[in-house]
Amino acid sequence: MARILLIDDEHGTRRTLQLALENAGHSVALAEDGDDGLALDVELTFDIVVTDMLMPGRSGSDVIMELIRRRPARHIIAMSGLDFGTRTDLLELARGLGANHTLEKPFLAKNLVAAVTDCLAPA
């Protein structure tokens, strides 16, 4: 079981992914934007952070950079749902910043669970 922080500005996405992760046995904390997510990260310790790349306020790239600065070995999964090539660019940026996995929205919840499982696998 992992402690997971899920950051996404879309309520429906947060709820759906939370249920999938909890059904897989993980503990999930939710944040609706990057600022709230980073504040929770100060209060609690998470094994994995799942973040959207485009959110109001602090972007996913800002969140990833701050998370890596705080704890470089942390596992991060980035996701994005924009079209017209922007999504690919944002996900490439996330990988370049240190995200372990990236997911293009829409994706199946089982793909997120698989990415989390991969993050937890021994190196």
Residue ranges per structural domain of the chain: 3-120
| CA 87 and chain centroid, separation | 15
Signed CA dihedral, 42, 47, 53, 54: sign only: negative
26-42 residue pLDDT tens: 999 999 999 999 999 99
User: Helices (DSSP H) in 44-108: which residue ranges?
Assistant: 60-70, 86-97
Strand order in 101-104's β-sheet?
27-31, 3-7, 48-52, 75-80, 101-104
Pick the CATH number of 3-120 from 3.40.50.2300, 3.40.50.720, 3.20.20.70, 1.10.3860.10: 3.40.50.2300
Global model pTM greater than 0.85:
yes
pLDDT at 110: 96
Is the bond preceding 72 in cis, omega lying within 30 degrees of 0?
Answer: no
CB 36 within 8 A of CB 42: no
39-66 residue pLDDT tens: 999 999 999 999 999 998 899 999 999 9
pLDDT at 82: 65
